[in-house]
Amino acid sequence: MKAKWILNVLALVMVTMLAVGCGGEKKEETASAPAEEKAAPAAEAPKGEIVLGVAGAHSGDLASYGLPSVNAAELVAEKINAEGGVLGMQVKVVPQDDECKPEKATNAATKLLSENVTVVLGHICSGATKAALPIYKESKIVCMSPSATNPPLTQSGDYPNFFRTIASDDAQALLGVNFAKSLGLKNIAVIHDKGDYGKGFATFAQEFIDADPEINVVLFEGVTPGAVDYSAVVQKIKNSGADGVIFGGYHPEASKIVSQMRKKDLTIPFISDDGVKDDTFIKVAGDYAEGVYASGPMDISANPLYQVALDAHKAKYGTEPGAFYYEAYSAALALLNAIEKAGSTDYDAIVNALHTEYVETPVGKIKFDAKGDAEGVGFSMYQVQNGKYVELK
Partner 1 sequence: MDYFLELFFGGLTRGSIYALVALGYTMVYGIIELINFAHGEIYMIGAFTGLIVAGVLGSLGFPVLGILFVALACAVVWSAAYGYTVEKIAYKPLRNAPRLSPLISAIGMSIFLQNYVLLAQTSDFLPFRKLTPDLGFMQPFRSFLSSSEIFIIGATAVVCVGLTLFIKYTRLGKAMRATAQNRKMAMLVGVKVDRVISATFVIGSALAAIGGVLIASHIGQINFYFGFIVGVKAFTAAVLGGIGSVPGAMLGGLVLGWTEAFATGYVSSDYEDVFAFALLVLILIFRPEGILGKDSTQKV
Binding footprint of partner 1 on the chain (CB under 8 A):
7, 10-11, 13-14, 17-19, 21-26, 194, 221-224, 226-229, 231-233, 235-236, 238-239, 251-252, 255-256, 259-260, 263-265, 280, 283-286, 288
In the complex, what is the shortest distance from the CB of residue 282 to partner 1, in angstroms, rounded to a whole number? Answer: 9
- Cβ distance to partner 1 smaller for residue 255 or 303: 255
| Cα separation, 141 vs 17, whole angstroms | 62
In the complex, what is the shortest distance from the CB of residue 28 to partner 1, in angstroms, rounded to a whole number? Answer: 14
In the complex, what is the shortest distance from the CB of residue 295 to partner 1, in angstroms, rounded to a whole number? Answer: 21
In the complex, what is the shortest distance from the CB of residue 151 to partner 1, in angstroms, rounded to a whole number? Answer: 24
- Cβ distance to partner 1 smaller for residue 289 or 351: 289
- Cβ distance to partner 1 smaller for residue 229 or 299: 229
- Cβ distance to partner 1 smaller for residue 98 or 253: 253
In the complex, what is the shortest distance from the CB of residue 236 to partner 1, in angstroms, rounded to a whole number? Answer: 6
| Cα separation, 70 vs 111, whole angstroms | 17
- Cβ distance to partner 1 smaller for residue 253 or 273: 253
In the complex, what is the shortest distance from the CB of residue 186 to partner 1, in angstroms, rounded to a whole number? Answer: 21
| Cα separation, 291 vs 361, whole angstroms | 32
- Cβ distance to partner 1 smaller for residue 24 or 88: 24
CB 97 within 8 A of CB 123: no
In the complex, what is the shortest distance from the CB of residue 2 to partner 1, in angstroms, rounded to a whole number? Answer: 12
In the complex, what is the shortest distance from the CB of residue 158 to partner 1, in angstroms, rounded to a whole number? Answer: 33
- Cβ distance to partner 1 smaller for residue 218 or 223: 223
CB 303 within 8 A of CB 330: no
- In the chain, what is the greatest distance between 2 CA atoms, to the nearest angstrom? 92
In the complex, what is the shortest distance from the CB of residue 232 to partner 1, in angstroms, rounded to a whole number? Answer: 4
Other Cβ atoms less than 10 A from the Cβ of 201: the count is 28
In the complex, what is the shortest distance from the CB of residue 176 to partner 1, in angstroms, rounded to a whole number? Answer: 20
- Cβ distance to partner 1 smaller for residue 253 or 327: 253
- Cβ distance to partner 1 smaller for residue 26 or 47: 26
- Cβ distance to partner 1 smaller for residue 118 or 260: 260
Q: Report the side by side order of strands in the sheet with 142-145.
A: 90-97, 49-56, 119-121, 142-145, 162-164
